[in-house]
Amino acid sequence: MRIHQIYIQIWTAAFVGCMVLDAAASSGEFARNGAIRENGKLGDHDAADISFLLRQPWNQQSNHRMSYYPAIFIFGDSLSDVGNNNNLVTLAKATRLPYGRDFPGGKPTGRFSNGLIGPDFLGHQSEYIGLPTPPPFLSAGNNILQGVCFASGSAGILNSSGNIYGEHIPLTKQVTYFANVRQELQARLGEEGTKDLLGKSLFYFNFGSNDYVTNYFLTNGRVPSLLQAQYTPSQFQDLLLSNFALRIEELYAMGARKMAIFGLSALGCLPFQRLIRNGSPTTCVESINEIVRSYNVALLNHVHALQAAHPDAVFTYLDSYRLIDSIIRQPSAYGLENVYAGCCGSGRFNGLPTCSVPRSYNVCEDASKYLFWDFVHPTSKIYKLATAKFWTGSYPDAIPYNLRELALAS
């Protein structure tokens, strides 16, 4: 039996077992919660909230810490999820230690890393934006005026991506949730106030990893996913990008004007892919990286096309692949000792998704020496590095604007 067949069987068994337990423990509460959220009612309209908005630093030049954006809206997957999946019935959860062990307070919060992640470093933890981390949509309540995080672990551009883990919020649904938030903003700030707020806000997108890792590239033994039979890599790439562009058009129509779009990272270098496709400490799975590079080129073309179609908006492309590739080529330049295995997990390269499953994982002592925290997610240190890079970096890491320039561009 080949390793990936064993893997799929373990995974399936764990998946079914945990789903039953999880669903029994929590479906009632979460189903009710979900139903409340579905109808878009986020809470009472409160006139006091407007004065709260007017006190924000971006409206107050004298404040010592001017914010570059009045609000941040985050669309994405587990790389940006700050707690949405805590409210869903899914295996893709990071609510048990050692997730979060290096987070302030040392507690798991639903972030898929050992500590702070991208949206945190963008927010108040850093000197960058000067805003708090945007709250997860599913538990944001009234707290929406400085932005919201819609990102959800295992989510993709396609609704079906990530289904193997359970519930998630795919891109289409994240856009629907944003429409609900927009209605709420409009009720509080009026249409002009809402347009003004959204026009200056950061819209941040990290999508696509799960459409490949948790959908297109899935195999059952030697049998490739149905999608691989249906679409060539180039057709699948077009399917993803045409859908992605449509969703961005919808957000533009609702008032988004500053959009930062992350390319895919080197997915062939993930411990998970090295494990199931016979990679080694020194070799990534090149066939996968080739598909990712082609996707990124096409994504950049879409970003250019969106820009050409909408001169009153600003679009920028942020190249995660380049940064991760550079880290893998020269680990010591970044203070790293291991760039091929997860700090936490089991199996070769700790490439199995078992981090935090009781009695089934190893965990390294110092995650700051590692590129990867678990089978697919980077360590907090890498998020910090990446945020610094995309805040001030230059071409070709950011094309054409870094996140700081994007705030000032019009």
Ligand X SMILES: *[C@@H]1O[C@H](CO)[C@@H](O)[C@H](O)[C@H]1NC(C)=O
CA dist 149 and 24 (Å) reads: 28
**By C-beta, is 237 or 320 nearer to ligand X?**
237
Minimum Å distance from CB 175 to ligand X?
9
Task: Exactly one of 22, 49, 77, 78 is catalytic; name it.
Answer: 78
**Is 358 within 8 Å of 350 (Cβ atoms)?**
no
Name the minimum Å distance from CB 402 to ligand X.
33
Residue nearest to ligand X (CB): 159
Beta bridge partners of 260: 204, 316
* Shortest distance in whole angstroms from residue 161 CB to ligand X: 11
How would DSSP label each residue in 116-135?
Answer: --HHHHHTTTSSSS-SPPPP
Q: What value, to the nearest 5°, has the Cα angle with vertex 103 and ends 157 and 211?
A: 15
Nearer Cβ to ligand X (159/362): 159
Contact 140, 42 (CB under 8 A): yes
172 binds ligand X (CB under 6 A): yes
Sign of the CA dihedral with 292 first, then 178, 57, and 143 last: negative
Residues between 18 and 77 that touch ligand X (CB under 6 A): none
Encoded tokens for 261:
């779009």
Among 37, 101, 173, 302, the residue binding ligand X under the rule CB under 6 A is: 173
Annotation says 374 is catalytic:
yes
Compute the distance between CA of residue 273 and CA of residue 100 in angstroms, rounded to an integer.
24
Nearer to ligand X, 168 or 188 (CB): 168
Catalytic annotation on 78?
Answer: yes
User: Based on CB atoms, which residue is closest to ligand X, 168 or 389?
Assistant: 168
- Please report the beta strands in 196-286, taking only residues with DSSP state E, as ranges in sequence order: 202-206, 219-220, 223-224, 258-262
Name the token pair of 354.
Answer: 């078992």
Q: End-to-end distance of the chain based on CA atoms, in angstroms?
A: 58
Least gap, CB of 309 to ligand X (angstroms)? 23
Nearest approach, Cβ of 236 to ligand X (angstroms)?
A: 14
Choose between 142 and 163: whose C-beta lies nearer to ligand X: 163
Please report, as residue ranges, which positions from 106 to 165 form the binding site for ligand X (by CB under 6 A). 159
Q: Between residues 38 and 191, which has the closer beta carbon with respect to ligand X?
A: 38
Q: Which two tokens stand for residue 149?
A: 């995080």
Q: Which of 49, 319, 374, 397 is catalytic?
A: 374
**Closest CB 172 distance from ligand X, rounded Å:** 4
Beta bridge pairs of residue 224: 219
Could you say which residues in the range 302-341 bind ligand X, by CB under 6 A?
Answer: none
Residue 377: active-site member:
yes
Q: How many residues bind ligand X (CB under 6 A)?
A: 3
* Backbone φ/ψ region at 357: left (φ over 0), alpha (ψ -120 to 50), beta: beta
**Hey, which residues are catalytic here?**
78, 374, 377
- Name the site residues for ligand X (rule: CB under 6 A): 159, 172-173
